[in-house]
């Protein structure tokens, strides 16, 4: 079994403040370690389920947060950013049996996580796909779905679990945090690690085909920028139309074209 894990940080257990996500801040070290522990736990659960090849994408900010030495030896770790439109799932293709998301967070404009954002932490007010607010999870889950790869597991804040159910109610979901205003309520980090192992193992032992996400026949993308000048600039990308001072729209039947557009305008 070949498994892909995409890992972010704003949805790891206990994380609450931007300083805890920033490599240059003193609060960062502990949460980078917790991110590593949760990814290692997901890898262990995958191994117990029979995974013989595991790819991990370090998908937070610099792409250089996970301690490689803490991961199992059969893991291939993708660090940094290539610039490919698949972004947080760089390298995924139809050869993978399953995709897992660890440490993900709610969408920009939501109130489920003090660190809620989509792609650009401060420059994007929201991104909608076919009229629904979209998180980084949804954007990249559709990338996997376009290749026929099932999305079997997600961990992060409680609000994101509801978004995941809309895409496919069969995937396993582990809520480690709940955002309340500018605060969080979290389970114990050791409990999160143990539950991660268990839930990932169970997810990969079930009928993976039930976790395939249906790909819409067409995509209407709406992006609202915090600064109107960015919307104006984005409107010059082929196919992008300016909808208002801060918003642009894009329509396509090919999801890769939507990802290509976002790679250049965000």
- 136 annotated binding-site participant: yes
- 17 annotated binding-site participant: no
- 120 annotated binding-site participant: no
Residues facing residue 57 across a β-bridge: 6, 78
Q: Which of 117, 122, 190, 228 is catalytic?
A: 117
3-state secondary structure 83-115: CCCCHHHCCCCCCCCEEEEEEECCCCCCCCCCC
The alpha carbon of residue 68 and the mean position of all alpha carbons in its chain are separated, in whole angstroms, by 20
Q: Spell out a b/e string for 45-59, using b for 16 or more CB atoms within 10 Å of the CB, else e.
A: bbbebebeebbbbbb
Instruction: Name the packing angle between helices 255-265 and 136-146 (round to 10°).
Output: 140
- 257 annotated binding-site participant: no
Structure tokens at 248: 């642009």
Give me the torsion for CA of 82, 76, 172, 185, rounded to 10°.
-70
Annotation says 117 is catalytic: yes
- Residue 138 contacts residue 149 (beta carbons within 8 Å): no
Phi, psi of 12 (to 5 degrees): -80, 165
Phi, psi of 250 (to 5 degrees): -150, 135
- Residue 251 contacts residue 178 (beta carbons within 8 Å): no
What is the H or E stretch that residue 2 is in?
Answer: strand 2-7
Residues facing residue 6 across a β-bridge: 57, 101
- Residue 104 contacts residue 13 (beta carbons within 8 Å): no
Binding residues for Zn(2+): 8, 10, 60, 105, 136
Residues carrying an active site annotation:
117
Binding residues: 8, 10, 60, 105, 136
């Amino acid at each position: 079994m070949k498994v892909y894990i995409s890992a972010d940080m704003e949805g790891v257990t206990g994380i609450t403040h931007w300083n805890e996500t920033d490599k240059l801040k003193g609060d960062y070290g502990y949460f980078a370690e917790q991110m590593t522990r949760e990814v290692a736990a997901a890898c262990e659960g995958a191994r117990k389920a029979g995974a013989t090849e595991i790819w991990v994408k370090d998908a937070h900010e610099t792409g250089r947060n996970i301690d490689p030495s803490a991961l199992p030896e059969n893991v291939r770790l993708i660090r940094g950013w290539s610039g490919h439109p698949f972004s947080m799932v760089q390298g995924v293709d139809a050869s993978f049996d399953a995709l897992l998301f660890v440490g993900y967070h709610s969408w920009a404009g939501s109130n489920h996580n003090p660190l809620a954002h989509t792609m650009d932490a401060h420059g994007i007010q929201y991104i909608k796909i076919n009229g629904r607010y979209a998180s980084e999870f949804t954007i990249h889950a559709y990338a996997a779905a376009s290749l026929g790869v099932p999305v079997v597991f997600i961990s992060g804040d409680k609000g994101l679990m509801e978004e995941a159910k809309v895409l496919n109610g069969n995937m396993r979901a582990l809520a480690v945090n709940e955002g309340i205003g500018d605060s969080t309520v979290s389970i114990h980090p050791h409990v999160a690690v143990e539950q991660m192992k268990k839930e990932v193992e169970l997810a990969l032992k079930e009928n993976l085909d039930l976790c395939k996400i249906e790909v819409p026949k067409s995509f209407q993308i709406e992006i609202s920028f915090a600064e109107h000048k960015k919307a104006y600039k984005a409107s010059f990308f082929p196919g992008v139309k300016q909808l208002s001072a801060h918003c642009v729209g894009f329509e396509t039947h090919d999801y890769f074209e939507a990802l290509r557009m976002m790679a250049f305008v965000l």
